[in-house]
Every structure is written in structure tokens, then in C-alpha cells.
A and B are shown apart, each in its own frame.
Chain A
Amino acid sequence: MARVVVDVMLKSEILDPQGEAVLGALPRLGVNDVSSVRIGKRVEIEFDENAQNVEEQSRVIADQLLANPVIESFSLSIEGS
């Protein structure tokens, strides 16, 4: 069974209001030495045992559904098989 983890992040130059909000809240916890917070999403996909072309299919899923390539980038990691 192949397990694929897709990490989707806003491209580095795109504003991340959510990350900014977390950054702004950190001083309230007494944490003052953080300069940037970026928030993305992690998607775990489990393929059937006999699945073929796992990487290729994962790339299609990530590119066409999970990420918005105009403003987001993604990375794939394939675990086990």
C-alpha cells in the first residue's frame, strides 16, 4: 500500500493572512523571537495495494485539486509501498 503525503503551501511571496494572525498572537504567549509563520495544509492519500503510477496520479491530484498552482506550491512524499 502506498501512502502519499501532499504538502500544500502558499508560494513564498503570497500574503498568508492566517500565518500573520498566528505571528501576531505569539507575543501573548511570551514568544517574541519568531519572525515568520506560514500555514499550509497536509493531505494524506492512501492508494490501493495494486495501484499503478502512484506518483503520477498523486501529482495530478495535487496539481488539479489540492493546490491552486496560481498561488500555491505543493510537494509530494511517497511513503512505503
Chain B
Amino acid sequence: MSQLNVAIDTVGVADATPDEKQPWAELGLKEDEYQRIREILGRRPTQSELAMYSIMWSEHCSYKSSRVHLRQFGEKNPKTPRLLAGIGENAGVVAIDENIAVTFKVESHNHPSYVEPKQGAATGVGGIIRDIIAMGARPIAVMDSLRFGAIDHPDTARVLPGVVDGIGHYGNCVGLPNIGGETYFDACYQGNPLVNALSVGVMPRSRLQSMQASGVGNTVILMGAKTGRDGIGGVSVLASATFSETGEGDARPSVQVGDPFTEKLLIEVCLELFDAGLVVGVQDLGGAGLTCALSETAAAGDGGMHVDLERVPLRAKGMEPQDILASESQERMLLIVDPAKAEEVLARSRRWGLLATEIGTVTDTGRLVVDFHGQTVVDVPPKSLADEGPVYHRPIAEPNDLGLIAVDRAETLPRPTTADEIRQTVLDMAASPNLCDKSWITEQYDSSVFGNTVLGTPHDAGVVRLDERTGVGIAISLDGNGRFARLDPYVGAQLSLAEAYRNVAVTGATPIAISDCLNFGSPEDPHVMWQFERAVTGIADGAQKLGIPVTGGNVSFYNQTGRDAIHPTPVIGVLGVIDDVARRIPLGLGKTGDTIALVGTTEEELSGSEWASVKHGHLGGVPPKVDLDHEMKLAELLSRLAGTEQLAAAHDLSEGGLAQALVEAICFSGLGAQILLPEGADAFTYLFSESSGRVLVVIPRGQELAVRTACEQRGLPITPLGVTDANTDGLHLRDHFDIGREELEASWKGRIGLHLGE
């Protein structure tokens, strides 16, 4: 070991120099928070302790602004025997049957993806995969929800290709299918793109892991990549002056670069260790590195841990203790193992070519003690870092413009009236950034590695088979709508929940669990906090109503540039189970002669719609109504019809309404559709309204009565719209217009590449 040429700020030094000035403000701590740290410790914190508190008490780790609201999930979550692990764990775990369970979670990596799109998005995928491993599961798929600024803004041409490249690079290299997601463009995300990544994994129920560092005397092992200076930009104010003399100027970026091949090894070695029963506790190293993993495992366990920090394998020279504690180097896991089994754990890691090092021991002292070359640099109660961080009741205020926005209804905007105008609107909408074909993005991802992907993009939800013998599988959808949430965060959040729920149901699966990623502006803005509180309440109430629990997720605040916050954007993931994936309902139009019908009610609901945005740049009014009772009936119907001869295809209606659903079904199926709108219906409203709770169904000939009866029994309105016809070229809307397939496809396809200058 090289000699230390810098004096280390030890606990002894801190005791002796109580008045030393510390850069707590630069580290993002408030004065009262700093004083509380001093009270907890009975002295000033060392530099390492200060770094740890500043990280663990940050918004990102402590949920200090959101915690009081997130409690609602726990209070309102329906009780279900399926829920094996919930909020507070690395990821929620739900039982599929008596043998297997799945775990899934969605998490944001917004800011890093703006700074360095490729690596930021890639490490976002890596991080969520490790959460899945930490629960004891084998990751089996990923999904992503992306939001960028205007598609024609020059910076979007930097951010979008980088993000897509990063997601594809990491996911494809690790060997996980990307089974869906969403991509939206809106100027409000210009400086704050949203990159929300979801991963799902499967495990035998007996393999569920814990993050507890329990068992006094147990060994703490750090496994995976070496620790470097990645992502320690935040604590660099603590650095001694020597570092800036290396000549690289600001050489401590907050960017991390990951290595998916190391991650793949981590998956395999962790699962092997779990199966062999060699692991007592496990925690992945994510955003807050060792600081978070050590304090969380110690706090969850028997309360004490001793770590010798100099044992941590380092990639860079001259790292100080606070750097090692704060480093966000990727592809690392912390394991708690029985000392008698430690040698075997190390040997198995070596066999996989992974570094694994004993760095500490579980103790019963109630203290997390970190030594560096024999000198104690950290001596704190771990719960004070992990569980007892500050909790804020931030001021909440309804935005002043709410009333004005509500009366500025899109229903009053000028509309196309003639057949030709409506025809052109169908084409223009299909070509618009949010509705156009996204295959430029999705074809960069491997969607079928493992051979278990049953449905991927462009289907409403991704469907993956879990067991080849029984055919049991899961369906997942990830949905958000920032515009609806801007108009009314409570209803907007529920609309996203309803859409994700419906998208899962449309495949024939039964929704069983929710994960959410809550993207908002600054919590210090009372208007943003109001949006947040309303959205969380909407999701919690919705989950309670639908009878499926919120199992976890993440909060991303400060998605804001100056005073301009993004639209409140709760992104909801819903997971469903289908007992046999052979029963899944596909997208499309079935075959010639099948009946096309609409289940649900179309009202004049245009506020917040894609049409209002594309054609008028308008955002105002109240969002469509949401009826969760109706959604439950609809889901039950679809699950009942799935796999029977009564249903050939189904497609959820969402952004762009019926027109867009027809365009997609026609382009996907290669067939034509003859459509006759109900008598008296206003063609424009019927085509472009975004009323919730609607599904386009395709019914094989002769089954119409059975399906109608099934709908009527459940009180679900069903309206026949027309027939599938292979001889019709594209869309024939009787009494209105025809659009040939070529023209439809020319509008819908290839748009993203065109905008990016390809």
C-alpha cells in the first residue's frame, strides 16, 4: 500500500478539533441537519461521516420530502397473500403460484442520462437489474419509459440516440430482452429528459433474499468491480487540494461507466451463491455506493458492523476514505455470509472471474465503524443514516393557474369538419412524434433473447413465459401521461394507472401488482409538492380500488430547469399473470370477416389529448374521466375471453384515440378495415376523443352474440364498428373517406429517423 501523504480526518481528530469549519452546505445539507448530525454523534462528524450523512440524507436516498406522502401506499394497499416483499425492499416481490414469485421495479436515471445519455441510460438499466438480483431473482426482461424534449430540438438529437444506444448496449450485452415501454416528446422535458427503466425477475419462492446484516460475527464481502472515482463529484469538496494538481481540471465527473459483462457475471454468481444457501444477506451498490449498502444492511440487521476500508479493491490511486465510501462504481454487490462459508463464496466468485473481498464483520455494538489503515474514520449508529434521516412536511399549495387551465377546454378548439380535413388529421396524427411508429428505437433492442418473449413491442404490454411446462407467464406495461397529470395530477395519475392496468388486461393477463416512478419538479416549490401529493393520493386510492398493491418504485424530484418544472409525470408499471401464455390476446385485426367492435364509451373528451397538442399546441381543460370499476369489469371480461374462440385480437385505446388504434391495428396486421361509425356519432369526436376505459376488440365470425352477451352481463357497453377485410386497402370509413395502406404506413413509419436526420 502506498504511504498516505494526507492526514486522515479520524474520529480522534474530530474530537480534538470540534470547531473545524466543515463544508456541509456545499454537500447539500441544511444548517439544522448539520447540527442534528453533531447531536447524534456528540461531536463534529469526520469528513467521511459528513460525506455519508450528506448522501444518505439527500432527497434521493432519504425520500425526505416524499416520505410523508408515500405512507399512503402502505396505509391503503390492499392486503394480498401474493405480496411477499413490498415497499422498502430493493424491489417488490409477488407470488405467481405456490412455487414461483416475480420481482419487478421501475426506477429513474433522469439526470445522468441528460449529462451523458449513453452511459447514463446504460447504468440506469444496470442499477435496476441489480435490484432484481438483490431480491434473489434471475432478471428476465427489461422495459423503459422515455421522455424527451421536442423531437425537432437540436439537443434531442444528442440525447435520444445516446439514451437508446445505452439501453440497447447494456440490455443486449447482459442478455435481457427489452419487451416494451413508451417514448414521448414534449418541450417540458427539454433540459430534463426522463429515463425510467424497469426490470423484472423470477425466482423460486424459497430463494427470496434479505438485505439484513444479521448474525454477529458474520463476514461482510464486497463482490464485483473495483471501486474507482466514479460519481463522487458531490463529495469532491472534501478532497484535499492535491487532487486538482493532476492537471485534468475538473476531473471528478458525476458520470459512471458500467460494464454489462461484469453485471452478467454478477447475476450468475449471485444466483449460484443463493441456490447453495451461502448468503445471509445481500444488497446491491447503487446510487450511494458503499455508504448506502453498509448503512442499510447494518440498520436492517443486528445493528452493528465493522469495516476495514483499506481492503476495498481500488481502481484509482490516492482515494481517500470518503471517496471510497461515496464512489458509485457500477457492478458491485455486498454480501453477508457465515464466516465458515466465506472461503467458498470467495472461491466461487473467483471461478466466475469476479473479485470478492472480505471487508468487514457484523457486530452487536449498534455502531457502524469504518477503519482505514487502523484509524477509525466512521463511528455512527447505522439507523441514523438509513432510517432516521430528516423528514419534511414541505409546504403544499394549489397552483394559482388551476382554475384558468380548467376552463381553457380543448373541446372549444376549432376542429376539422369535412371528410378531407378529418382524413388529413388521421394521417397527421399518425405521423406526429408521440403516435408514430417507434421501431427506430425498439429495433435496437434485443426483444427475444431467452426465447420466452411472447409479446413485445408494439403490443400493449410485454408478455414473457416463466415456465415452459405450465406455460404460466407475466404481462407488464409501463405508462405515463404528463399532460393529463398537469391538468389534474390525481386524475392524471389514475389515468396512467388505468391505462397500464388495461394494457396488461388486453393481453388476457390478470393484473396483480403495481410499481411506480414518480417524476416531478422541485419539492421546494409548493405547487410541485401539491402535484406530488395529489398524484400519490391518486395512485394509492386507485391501487386500493383495483385491489392490487403498490410494491415499490422510486421518486425523482428536481426535474426542473430554473423555474420551469416538467409536467408532473407519474409513470406506472402494472404486472399481471396469465396462467398459460398460449391464451394471450394479440394485437391486430384477426382475419377476414371478423367483427371489429369497441368496448367502452366514447365521450367528447379532448382536453389534454394528443390532437389538442399536435394541432393546436394546446394544454387545458380537464382530463378524461376515469372509472376504475369499469376497468376492473373490462379486465375480467378480457381475461375470460382470452384464449377462447370468441376473441381474435384486442387493442387498448389511448393517446390518439380510436383513429390511432385502427392505424396501428391495420399496419400491424396487414389487413384492411371497413368501419361504419354509429349513427349520429360525430366522426371527429369518435375518432380522436381520448376517453378512458376503451378497448378495440376483434370477434371471429359467429361469436358476436356471445361476446355481446358477455359484455351486457358485466354492464359493459359494446358497439360494433365494422369488419376486417383483406380486400380493403387500409382504412375505409364509410360515408367519410378511404386511406390506403401505403399512405397510412408512409405517414406512421420512419418518422423518428427522419427527425434525427437519417
Instruction: Give chain A's interface residues, CB within 8 Å of chain B.
Output: 10-17, 20-21, 24, 68, 70-71, 73
Contact = CB atoms under 8 A, between A and B. Distances in A.
Given A15-B315, A24-B353, A73 B258 contact: no
A46 B330 CA distance: 39
A11 B252 CA distance: 9
Contacts of A12: 229, 246, 248, 251, 316
A73 B250 CA distance: 11
Contacts of B259: 15, 17, 20
Interface in B329-347: 329-330
B257 A71 contact: yes
Contact of B255 (A21, A70, A73): A70
B275 to A, nearest CB: 26
A29 to B, nearest CB: 17
Interface in B248-304: 248, 251-253, 255-259, 261-262
B116 A17 contact: no
Contacts of B253: 11, 13-14, 70-71
Nearest to B232: A13
A21 B316 CA distance: 17
B261 to A, nearest CB: 7
Q: Is the interface of B mostly helix, strand, loop or mixed?
A: loop
Q: Is the interface of A mostly helix, strand, loop or mixed?
A: loop
A73 B257 CA distance: 15
Contact of B329 (A15, A16, A24, A71): A15
B419 interface: no
A68 B162 CA distance: 12
Contacts of B248: 11-12, 73
A24 B354 CA distance: 11
A13 B236 CA distance: 13
Contacts of A20: 259
A73 B330 CA distance: 21
B116 A13 contact: no
B225 interface: yes
A70 B315 contact: no
B119 A71 contact: yes
14 contacts: A11-B251, A12-B248, A12-B316, A13-B229, A13-B252, A14-B228, A15-B257, A17-B261, A24-B353, A70-B115, A70-B255, A71-B116, A71-B253, A71-B255
B650 to A, nearest CB: 43
B371 interface: no
Contact of A13 (B225, B316, B330): B316
A17 B230 contact: no
A13 B230 contact: yes
Contact of B257 (A17, A21, A24): A17
B316 A70 contact: no
Given A68-B116, A71-B116, A71-B119, A14 B255 contact: yes
A37 to B, nearest CB: 12
Contacts of B353: 24
B251 A17 contact: no
A63 to B, nearest CB: 13
A68 B257 CA distance: 13
